[in-house]
Structure formats: C-alpha cells, structure tokens
A = this chain, B = another copy of it.
Amino acid sequence: MNINTIGIIGGKGKMGRLFEPIFKRYAKKVLLSDMTSNEKIAKESDVLVFTVPIASTIEVIESLLPLIRKDQLLLDFTSIKEKPCEAMLKSSASVIGMHPMFGPSVQTLEGQTVVLCPVRPDEWLDWIVDLLRKEKATVIQTTPEKHDRMMAVVQCLVHFTSLLFSKTMKEEGINPEELFQYASPVYRMQLYIAGRIANQSAELYRDIQFQNPAFEKTLENMTESFETMKSTILKHDGDKFEETFKEIQDFLGPEILDEGQTMTNMFIKLMRSSC
C-alpha cells in the first residue's frame, strides 16, 4: 500500500512525537496538528490518527466528520475503544481503533503490546498489522467491547487499587517515611507501584476511570468482594478466609503463583542491591 500522508491530530503531544519518526518510515509525509490545523490535515491525509486527551476525543472526531472521505483510514490511540470507534464509524471512512499499551516514555515499539479493534478495516488491516510487526510490537486484535472490558481490569482496577491503598494509608495518619523503616519487601514493591501511579497525570487517570463503560461493573464486583472480605475478618471467620484464599489460588493458577514468586524474588534482589 502506497501512503502519501499520515496526519496526527494532537500530534504535538508526547504520543504524537513518539509515532512521528515511526510513521515516517511508512509514508512520504507525516503532518502533526496542534489542533489549530486540524481541518487542513484531515483533508490532506490518507491516514488520520487521533491522539488527544480521552475527554476531548469524541468531540474532536465529531468536529472533523464532515471532512472525512471514504478512501481514508481513521485510527485513534485512546485508552478506551467503544466510544471513539462509534464516533469514527459515523464517517464513511475505514476505521481501526488502536490502543498502544504503553506510555510515551518508551523508545521504540519493540516488545510493546498494541491492541487493534478493526471495526471497519477494509483493505487497511494488513497495512497497520504489517507496520506494527515490522516495528516488533505484539499485536492483539479484538472488539471495542472486549478491549474495554479487559482495560477495566488491567488499567482501571490496577489504578483504583493503588490509589485506594495510598488514600487509606494517608487516612491512617502515619508518615510514609516512618512506615518505610518497617517496610517488608512486598510493602516496598506496593509502595513503588503507588509512587509510579501517583507520579502520572491526574487527568489521564481520571479519564480512564470515568470513561471506560465496563468499569462500573468491575467496581460493583469490587464492592461485593470488599464487603465479604471485610466481614470475614471482623467476624474472624477462619473457614471463610481459607475458602477465599483457596479460591484466589485456584483462580490465579500454579503458573502465576510460580512466576509471581520468581519475579518478585528478582525485584527484591534488585531493591536490596539498589539500597
């Protein structure tokens, strides 16, 4: 496939800048829009990529719909896929939702996972899969609904768990430096994850939590699990605790138990040597 122009709406953001040199290897021109030039770039591009904050994605896509032609490919980099894909499908163009599962701090796509939701891919699917494989990314294809359901766990639930851990500690009124003195290795790992997450942008995390339609159900599951576990502890119900523990062991399975032990042992060694 011969691509003349790839246009990136929101291209002057960090993800746009990461992808600019990559896309340059597969098109004659890559145009970056800082929002003022959206319309011009939408018209000139064969492939139009949206990488703008989640909360503005739908609005930005819809504002350009009247300009979009059938022979173009629309792609978006949003962390949720159902709503942006719906918005892009209102055009007559080809549409592939795309979620690069990493932040702009990576150097290359090598070894990174990219999820594709080819909702109306036409002849473009091979092109983008080929491009990503040449860049050595791991490509997963699924539906927007399934993508969002998976993200409700691998993003929303992980972020929520870490923020809940931090917020609870804060409410305890104990200084984290003092806690650190008493830190077990697992506590230190959990605290480092909390530090990493709190070191990112509140807006990004807010949008991931607010905009994923599948997270509401996950939060309901979490509420039930929380209440069951809390009452098990307050009632000192040993049988119920062991049943829950066994349930979790069976669910994770021997492979993740093993790998978890091995990998965290390696993390602990690393923490010790970096002290």
| A residues adjacent to B (C-beta < 8 A) | 101-102, 111, 113, 115, 140, 147, 149-155, 157-158, 160-172, 174, 176-187, 189-199, 202-203, 205-206, 209-210, 215-219, 221-226, 228-230, 233-234, 236, 238, 241-242, 244-249, 251-253, 255-261, 263-264, 266-267, 270-272, 274-275
* Nearest chain B CB to A18 CB, angstrom units: 16
Apart from A191-B256, A192-B260, A219-B233, what are 18 other A-B pairs with CB-CB below 8 Å? A140-B181, A140-B182, A150-B178, A151-B182, A154-B182, A162-B190, A164-B229, A180-B256, A186-B196, A189-B189, A193-B260, A195-B252, A198-B257, A206-B238, A206-B242, A210-B236, A219-B230, A266-B270
Mind listing 10 A-B residue pairs with CB under 8 Å? Answer: A101-B183, A147-B182, A152-B172, A164-B226, A168-B218, A168-B221, A176-B251, A199-B258, A202-B241, A203-B242
User: Which secondary structure dominates where chain A touches chain B?
Assistant: helix
Max chain B Cβ within 10 angstroms of own Cβ: one of A154, A189, A274:
A154
Question: Which residue of B184, B206, B226 is within 8 Å of A245 (Cβ)?
Answer: B206
A161 touches B190 (CB 8 A): yes
B165 touches A157 (CB 8 A): yes
Q: How far is the CA of A224 from the CA of B256 in the complex (A)?
A: 32
Question: Which residue of B171, B194, B245 is within 8 Å of A205 (Cβ)?
Answer: B245
A198 touches B274 (CB 8 A): no
The closest CB in chain B to the CB of A269 belongs to B270
B184 touches A189 (CB 8 A): no
Chain B residues lying within 8 Å of A163, measured Cβ to Cβ, are: 229, 244-245, 248
Max chain B Cβ within 10 angstroms of own Cβ: one of A205, A210, A275:
A210
Question: Which residue of B154, B170, B225 is within 8 Å of A167 (Cβ)?
Answer: B225
Q: How far is the CA of A59 from the CA of B228 in the complex (A)?
A: 29
Chain B residues lying within 8 Å of A259, measured Cβ to Cβ, are: 192, 195
A221 touches B171 (CB 8 A): yes
A184 touches B154 (CB 8 A): yes
* Nearest chain B CB to A159 CB, angstrom units: 8
B261 touches A199 (CB 8 A): yes
Chain B residues lying within 8 Å of A203, measured Cβ to Cβ, are: 242
